Structure 1
Amino acid sequence: MTTHRVPAPQPPADSTKVSGPASYFPSIERTYGRPVQEWLDLVADRLDDHRHMEVVSWLKEEHGLGHGHANALVGYVRRALDG
């Protein structure tokens, strides 16, 4: 079993609307064809020695993410790591 520093959130069991950065996650998976957990793992590792906007820029330049998607991933991971 793989342990993730920041696990992806589980989708709500009912029709509850997700808000905040996680509301972008279904669109991120559809748009870029990778599970959100892969993006969260990449971001968590990158945040060890880079600032928020540096990681956002890296996601945009190296992986082709849009600004909103990149910022949502970084914000979600930062919030989870900061506790």
Structure 2
Amino acid sequence: MTDVRPRRKVLEMSTEKVKGPASYFPSIEKNYGKPIAHWLSIIDAMREKKHSEMVAVLKAEHAMGHGHANALVAHYRAGNPG
């Protein structure tokens, strides 16, 4: 007897955990209700500021926690040094 049931393709999921600042991204999106691209565009508009000044703005103007603000700025700076 031949099995005629359709075969399901098993999708492999990555078992590697996200590391570094990006590991905060799901929590940032959940807690603040905006996608990461939104926050990166805000940071990009402040690109002339120092790291600590960017973090301070995110904390003061967007009520973001220090860890989340620092993770976003660190991620931005890693891709846009200067």
Please give the range of the TM-score, normalised by the shorter of the 2 chains: 0.7 to 0.9
* 5+ residue gaps, structure 2: 1-12
Q: Distance in 2 between matches of 1:79 and 1:38?
A: 17
List 4+ stretches of structure 1 deviating above 3 A: none
1:80 aligns with 2:69: no
- For residues 1-80 of structure 1, the aligned pairs below 5 Å read 14-47=14-47, 49-80=48-79
Question: Shift of the alpha carbon at 1:15?
Answer: 2.9
Looking at structure 1, the residues matched to 15 and 26 of structure 2 have their Cα atoms a distance apart, in angstroms, of: 15
Larger Rg: 2
- Structure having the larger proportion of residues in helix: 1
Q: CA deviation at 1:45?
A: 1.8
CA distance in 2, matches of 1:19, 1:37: 18
Identity across the alignment (%): 50
- Output the CA distance in 2 between the equivalents of 1:82 and 1:54: 15
User: 3-state SS of the aligned residue for 2:17?
Assistant: coil
C-alpha distance in 2 between matches for 1:52 and 1:82: 11
Tell me how far 1:82 sits from its aligned partner. 1.8
Alignment RMSD, CA only?
1.4
Gaps of 5+ in 1: 1-12
How far apart are 1:16 and its partner, in Å?
1.8
